[in-house]
Amino acid sequence: MQTITLEIEGMTCEHCANTLSNVLGLDGVNEKAVSYESANAIITFDNDKINLNQIIDTIQNETNFKVKQKQL
């Protein structure tokens, strides 16, 4: 398991955070906490099922949000 914090650009309201949370319902993502106020997403995932690049690609391809920075 790995936990990362991603800085997300483009979230402006709770609906945006809920949209991102739904998009992060991927196989291998065990926990997610999304905050538009903090402009971030804290994600715990199983490296054997999904990797960080797949998560970032999904966010950027399925939403209008951009991943600005990541903290491992």
Into how many domains does the chain fold? 1
Residue 48 has pLDDT above 70, yes or no: yes
The domain of 26 spans 2-71
Question: What's the CA dihedral at 12, 17, 20, 21 to 10 degrees?
Answer: 180
Quote the pLDDT of residue 72: 66
Quote the pLDDT of residue 69: 77
Global pTM reads: 0.90
pLDDT mean over 22-50: 97
Q: How long a stretch of residues is the chain? A: 72
Q: Express as a percent the part of the chain with pLDDT over 90.
A: 93
**CATH code, 55:** 3.30.70.100
